[in-house]
Chain A
């Protein structure tokens, strides 16, 4: 494949990179007045990147692969990035932090994510991951005058650097013992038995990636970063990078380590159950809604890993289905969190301030309740279907104890989601919120709420077919 063909394969990344560079110039010359324009242009660039998906093949001598799997996950990433951009302008305008660099940083992080999900070589993986992370560290501390935001950025950076080191160490071990950084070549090398060096490599790579997806025991940064980062950034962190990191993990485990399932399956089973249980227990005592949603994301990653631990095509397809539904629920919940503004317009994050919301803003409370019940996995909401498919895959792969313990532990999770519903519906109103003012935000809430409502079940055949095609690309 010539260099031109290879470049054409990366067209979505090229579109985003070009747009990011051009918008950077706009930001530099016009200044913060252009923020709204830059945001819209960035969303346009994401749409353009989505349209230019569809290339098929392996480019740059096996460094980059464009297939159904990468297309599917990129589409989801662009969607998440676009919606979180839509949700950002009003928030930053209210906080007087409207900066034209913000959409540019989001675009750059998104380019990194595109590289992550398309990587078929450990080095591309690392470059993509770092590109995404560097932009993300800046985004986390975007409200730099706010102590919590600065702390979040610093914490994210230090721990992220540590995780990158662990990951890099694992990569070097894998390279040293198998003599290659190419996924398929590693798989061939692992096929004839896993020696001690390779095993250590696998463990370190998985540890590094667990950090990126915030799975227990590498989750401790999540609540602080979620709480400290500005809410639109948290929305972004909770969705797009999660999808990218999970997709990356899927590709590494299935393509590079697919011939040694036994050596990583138990690791995933452990992190999965630990994430489900710790995420659920940790959330119970939280009083800040963003910290609670951080623990909820840890809990959800546990369920995602249940599907991946199956190590089968059905498992990968279930994982992707879960991610789609998870992104919808997370976008919706954070859009609701963005509406938590006191009468003077200041954002509040205290869960107790939701008290009696169903009396003051019934529509918002109903949407929030739908997201909470859906995250808890209660039918007939779509969150149930997400859990259904991952546990179905685990049961089909014969992982009965994992399925039984995991699903029983989801009752613990149900407790704190119910707590939010209880506060909104059973408690007497206390704080008065400013009314929902933005059409954009209310339509995001409405659309995601409808999507996770029982109406979303009608999309199951389509979603199932799409994820099956995407999963097939890896096997």
Chain B
């Protein structure tokens, strides 16, 4: 058996977390940063070792040590990219919390390392119940992160986050129990090929939907997200937006679509309806926010609606687009929260009206903020554009009304992001203290520059990110194509006509 790299990636941060609890603040920071960097290295090794076009599941490990379920790990391209995203954001989170977290540092670092282990576990789990355990266990460290190191109203936010997500997930557990009885296995790859009875699928789908829709989050169960984001410390928001929200989308790809294709097709109206409302409604809500983090939180809900629309378009463009939006949003919204964190650390307020004219005294900061604002809007050449464009093309093939409504989201997105940027970076400073804020420190450079580079890379050459996932999308499409609902836009590829005939036809028309 080869080196168990996935187990190492899960167990190493847990061991480091146990270690940091007993260290001093500074030592805990160093250990946490070191561990996350090692994991980043392992993540790169993983990407490097992933054989594109090879077997669907790679780095497979299976140890049936729990009786009823197994310690079964393995990744496909989709899981690989999400793991890479997690390990990429994690050192940045630790750096972002270097100075801004002052109380109970060892516990804070331990919570983040634990979080990282659980995130990798969610994406690597190949056993349904192991997945569930990782999926749910993430609630505990996040609850503590929001509750201990959060803002003024952190208690309510932490409760809301915990109970909302828990209720959704528990129904999923009942469905999982039934599925394991019915199919006689808890192995996710086998379950992805199992045909569940069509009438049972609807119930199972709804049970999973209850969990993933909350996690995603979709309108109208998104209300925990703005609270959690606003109250969480900066790094907590980055992880929440960057990785935890992706678990919902990952769940749809891993469970809902391949395991219940008939139910997915039946209930596509529900997903589309909720996503269309989300795009327009949350964008409008974002437009009137006074709090920067809340604004970005609402924009996340709108962006996640693109993901659900793309996934349930039942075609290659839609699904690939959704996957790219997930990755791009992970980078861009994470970076935007970091940008908010930079100025929050200086002025200790998130109120937009307290800022202004930052382009004068913080030119580099204004540059980065503009860069990520543009990326969030979907400027071609930056990460979000590719995914959103593909998702909308896919949506258009499925249903042109959905595509039309969803596209307004891009316009509204430009409106609220540019409006935010204008109020923060242009104009005159709201006060003496705002005008005298210093530009970014080298540490802040270190947090934002790598994300900027990745955003540009994903915008210019998305193939690097798309290539590992392409075969998995093909496999998924093979499962769901038979149930795909007919689209209303009857697109036909025009036959390439010979040049002569073309000019003849041209002439006739005259």
Question: Which A residues contact B (CB, under 8 angstroms)?
Answer: 358-359, 362, 373, 378-380, 384, 388-389, 391-392, 395-396, 400, 403-404, 407-408, 410-411, 414-415, 418, 421-422, 425-426, 457-458, 460-461, 464
Contact = CB atoms under 8 A, between A and B. Distances in A.
A378 B132 CA distance: 10
Contact of B133 (A362, A384, A392, A411): A384
A378 B166 contact: yes
B147 A426 contact: yes
Given A408-B167, A414-B163, A391 B67 contact: no
A384 B69 CA distance: 14
Given A418-B163, A461-B66, 7 more contacts: A378-B166, A392-B177, A392-B180, A395-B177, A415-B159, A426-B147, A464-B67
Contacts of B136: 378-379, 384
Given A379-B136, A461-B65, A461-B67, A411 B155 contact: no
14 contacts: A359-B104, A379-B137, A384-B133, A388-B173, A391-B173, A408-B170, A415-B159, A422-B147, A422-B159, A426-B148, A458-B66, A461-B66, A461-B67, A464-B67
A309 B363 CA distance: 68
Contacts of B174: 391, 395, 400, 403-404, 407
Interface stretch (B138-146, B320-328, B443-451): B138-146
A282 to B, nearest CB: 18
B154 interface: yes
Interface of A is mostly: helix
Contact of A380 (B133, B159, B163, B170): B133
Contacts of B166: 378, 411, 414
A13 B250 CA distance: 57
Interface string B143-183: 11001100000110011001100110011011001101100
Contacts of A421: 143
A378 B167 CA distance: 11
B186 to A, nearest CB: 11
B167 A460 contact: no
B497 interface: no
Contact of A422 (B66, B104, B155): B155
Contacts of A389: 68
Nearest to B181: A396
B377 to A, nearest CB: 37
Contacts of A411: 163, 166-167, 170
A469 to B, nearest CB: 14
Contacts of B65: 458, 461
Contacts of B67: 460-461, 464
Interface in B211-248: none
A460 B66 contact: yes
A460 B140 CA distance: 22
Contacts of A378: 136-137, 139-140, 166
B319 to A, nearest CB: 30
Nearest to A389: B68
Contacts of B143: 418, 421
Nearest to A461: B67
A245 to B, nearest CB: 27
A457 B132 CA distance: 14
Q: Which 3 A-B pairs have the closest CB atoms?
A: A461-B67, A379-B133, A395-B177
A28 to B, nearest CB: 50
Nearest to A394: B177
A359 B139 CA distance: 22
Interface in B164-210: 166-167, 170-171, 173-174, 177-178, 180-181
A392 B174 CA distance: 8
